[in-house]
Structure 1
Amino acid sequence: MRAFNFPNFYVRHRNFLGEISSLSSSLDRADARFTVRSGLASSNCVSFESSNFPGYYLRHQSSRIRLNLNDNTNLFKDDATFCIKPGLASSTNVSFRSYNFPTYYMRHRNGELYIDPYSTNSLFLNDATFILVAPFIP
């Protein structure tokens, strides 16, 4: 997933936290690879499993996107499920709405990934829009 408003920055994990960054090493590319799974809480949505840490998923906790091991609790499943919506800044791209906080969307802020409440502010709309790209080879 590439950031809509930072075309050389990709969604990735680093130190078990979600962020966007440029990718310059094989580790960077590996950290930016996710397998899109059927949503852990709803098959109408998706969950993002790390390719280089199988069993670990992007989830929100205290609004921050983190990479955590699936503990199979309902809370984890809810936190790790995102519903794909037409991009808030560009309908040809995508935005990810939180499953259990349906007025919140995944977005980047200062290079870090969060879920924040929907806003019509253009910065929010751009930060909450992503471009799906082919996976990187580590």
Structure 2
Amino acid sequence: MGADVRHSAGPWTGAAGAAEALRTHLGQVRPEFAAAHAGLAGGTEGLAVADVLRTVRTSWERRIDTAAAECGSLAGSLRAVARDLGESDAAVRAALAGVGVGVAAGAGAGSGFASGPGASFALGGGR
């Protein structure tokens, strides 16, 4: 079974953007959540449910903050992967630039090896 390993920074950068967008959205949810609970304390004063509602609100606020922080961290990590993959590609390309290219026995057409300006680097398996 043969497979090529290929990558590009695009999907990693796109995923980072999605994580950042989610973090931004979560930052907007918390104030909306607070506004939805405004005046609730006055309307439930003296009822046991007031304490329960405060506990639930506090729990959800912690969850929102935790999720937003995780999305921010994930966005940074995904951008680092995209950057690191690009740097690795450049290093491999530079290392291979000094290697003489010749056709070895059995490494002709269809071997998975290419050279020149339009060539791409791929790792493949032939079994």
Judging by fraction of residues, say which structure has more helix: 2
Structure-1-length-normalised TM-score:
0.19
Structure-2-length-normalised TM-score:
0.20
Judging by fraction of residues, say which structure has more strand: 1
Higher relative CO (Cα under 8 Å, sequence separation at least 6) belongs to: 2
